[in-house]
Homo-oligomer: A and B are copies of this chain.
Amino acid sequence: MNKTIQEIEASFLEFVNKMSSYNEALGLIYWDLRTGAPKKGMEQRSEVIGVLSSEVFAMSTSEEMGLYIEQLSDEKVQDELSEITRKTVEDCKKQYDRNMKVPANEYREYVILQSQAETIWEEAKEVSDFEMFRPYLEKLVAFNKKFISYWGYDGNPYNTLLDMYEPGVTVEMIDKVFGQLRENIVPLVKEIAENGERPETDFLFKHFPMESQEKFSHFVLEEMGFDFEAGRLDTTVHPFATGLNPGDVRVTTKYDENDFRTAVFGTIHEGGHALYEQNISKSLIGTPLCDGTSMGIHESQSLFWENFVGRHKGFWMKNFEKLKSSNPGQFDGLTLDEYYRAINESKPSLIRIEADELTYPLHIMIRYEIEKGLFNDEIEVKDLPTVWNEKMQEYLGVVPANDGEGVLQDVHWAGGSFGYFPSYALGYMYAAQIKQAMMQDFPNYDEMIAEGKLIEIKQWLTENIHKYGKLKKPLEILKDVTGEELNAEHLISYLNNKYRDVYRLS
């Protein structure tokens, strides 16, 4: 007897729930590894990760999955399925198609290469030797080109890579907005360097005991509306946030006793990611839709909180006294304005992850242009150090003394992640555009921040973005929330206004 479509739907949802459960277990294992797992257990823990990940991969490409997709993608049954099932099928189909098109032996080879490349990259970065890393990077690029040939592409081969991180976004769109950003930011950065009035920043580097920093991070998360009954805050080396499920979202941060900004802005940033994960609709639990919809939208949430809340003058009108009292003596005689200008200092620098909010997008553009060149056969791997340094000079006016602080600085390429970088800058533009839309509902946004009404901001983001999880695509969310397509103007005008003010330019 044939199964009814409802029976097939039910067993499909059970199947994806099993995959979600394995992924949740993996999420906990990764969190644990990065927050204090004993080092001697790590080798065996990798084995556990291998077993669970292989199982998830095997399920995602199994005959059973293939059959579910076939049966549930049929146009005739669409009306009988819930929206959640339809979108889950769509999501699984995308993974399935991608994974099935790559021959198993090539994929296996690629996974091994990734892991070797990351090890070699670490050494190469350490000794600033690009040549050591070059053959691995060449192979990684070659593999990805071959994968693109299996997967096919629309318009530009690089679009296929972008689609993995930011579905719907194309080279054409990015070229346009990055072009606008470049035209506006590069001259602004130059003007600041030449005519800007630099803030005093010495006081940023005094001694801030870890305990008081920890309390302040905790306080800031509370203020943002982070639910500590549905999450926790821990310490790590490279901060991250992870949503195991909406009731268990973990923020990690790092305390630098000589620079309080690391923890404060790091916590706010990761807290922004965490709020997204905590507020996804519970109806999506157990499906792949219970996740941020894209890297870019996720980053829009962390950057919204970090830049439009945490670096906003109003936030410190509310909290500067609190910061002062938790760090007695550290900020004596400092005015709010001096403090505000200092934490918003901007200057061209070599390292992306240490860049300020004005120069950060330039770091991303350099990476984007290199990736696009590689996958359009316009740049060769062997020329990367030269290309890198030329672009640094052109965009930021600084050149690395060696490849360790230059082309080798990021891990992404060693892991085979091409197409990922643009999502950082896209997220930033999304955030500025979302803020513009929010101001329609909250015309007194600046006062709200100064009054500490952050919960209302969280609620607005939940209603408009968070709750949907992956039910909506990134550009669909952007359009629904802001009423327009991707538009770089909002970020440009924000940066112009803010940095002209900070640097006392007319």
Contact = CB atoms under 8 A, between A and B. Distances in A.
Interface of A: 17-18, 21-22, 24-25, 28-29, 32, 36-45, 47-48, 50-52, 227-232, 244-249, 285-286
Interface of A is mostly: helix
A248 B249 CA distance: 24
B286 A47 contact: yes
Given A43-B247, A247-B43, A25 B38 contact: no
B40 A29 contact: no
Contacts of A245: 41, 44-45
Given A32-B28, A248-B44, A229 B39 contact: yes
Identical copies in the complex: 2
A28 B24 CA distance: 12
Given A24-B44, A28-B32, A48-B21, A37 B286 contact: no
Nearest to A36: B232
B40 A229 contact: yes
Interface centre among A29, A51, A286 (most CB of B within 10 A): A51
B42 A247 contact: yes
Given A28-B28, A28-B29, A40-B247, 14 more contacts: A17-B47, A17-B51, A24-B45, A25-B25, A25-B48, A25-B52, A37-B248, A38-B247, A38-B248, A40-B229, A40-B230, A40-B248, A41-B244, A45-B244
Contacts of A42: 247-248
A103 to B, nearest CB: 23
Nearest to A25: B25
28 contacts: A18-B51, A21-B47, A21-B50, A21-B52, A24-B44, A24-B48, A25-B28, A25-B48, A28-B29, A28-B32, A32-B32, A37-B248, A38-B228, A38-B232, A38-B249, A39-B247, A40-B229, A41-B230, A41-B244, A41-B247, A41-B248, A41-B249, A43-B247, A44-B244, A44-B248, A44-B285, A45-B244, A45-B248
